Structure 1
Amino acid sequence: MARSDLFAGSSVGVQSGRLATLAVQEALPMSIARVTEITASSTVSFDDAIAQGIARADKTLRHVEGAWIQEQKVVVREGKIAEYRVNMKVTFVLAD
C-alpha cells in the first residue's frame, strides 16, 4: 500500500518526505484489543452457531470487532447430527 493510500481521507500530510509526528498520533490512535475463546452450539447449522456465539459475546463484551472460527464439530446421536458446535476466538477492543 502506498503511503498516500494509507492516509487518504485523513488530515495527515507528508512534509518533505517525513510525516508530521503530531498529526500521525492524532489520526491513528492506539487501540488495545483482547481475544477470548468461546464455544457456541446450534441444532440448525454451523452458521447459526456462529451467529448465536457472536450475539452472546456482544451482550457481554463491548466493541466486538471480529472472530476467528477455530474449530467446527458435530454431535451425533442415533446416526444423525444433533448439534453443530463451533469454537471461536472473539476479538474486542478494550475501552479507555
Structure 2
Amino acid sequence: MATSTVTKVIEVSASSKKGIEDAVQTGLKKVAKSVKNIKGAWVNDVKVVCNDDGSVSEWRVNMRVSFVVS
C-alpha cells in the first residue's frame, strides 16, 4: 500500500528593516515556533515603507508557507 502525504499552506506577512531576505527569515522562524515539517515558502508579494526622502525604511513580504500534515 502506498503512503500519501497531505500538505497544508498558510499565508504569512513579515517585515524587516534590513531587507527582503531578513523579512522572509523572520517570518519563517516565527512560523516554525508553532508549525512543524515546513517544506517551503513562496514569496508572492513584496512591499516597502518609505521615508520622506524616498529611502526604504521597512521591507514587507507576504508569503505562503507549506508544511506536511502528519
- Fold agreement, TM-score > 0.5: yes
Deviations 1:13-68 (A, max 9, x none): xxxxxxxxx4xx2xxx2111110000000000101001111111111111111000
Higher strand proportion: 2
Partner of 2:67: 92
What is the aligned counterpart of 1:59 among 33, 49, 63? 33
Given candidates 35, 47, 57, the residue that maps to 2:21 is 47
Larger RCO (alpha carbons 8 Å, 6+ apart) = 2
Q: TM-score, normalised by structure 1?
A: 0.68
Question: 1:65 is paired with a residue of what secondary structure?
Answer: strand
How many pairs does the alignment contain?
69
**TM-score with structure 2 length normalisation?**
0.91
1:40 partner letter: A
Unaligned runs of 5+ in 2: none
For residues 43 and 49 of structure 1, what CA distance do their matches in structure 2 show? 8
Supply the RMSD in Å over aligned alpha carbons.
0.9
The sequence identity of aligned pairs, in percent, is 33
Larger Rg: 1
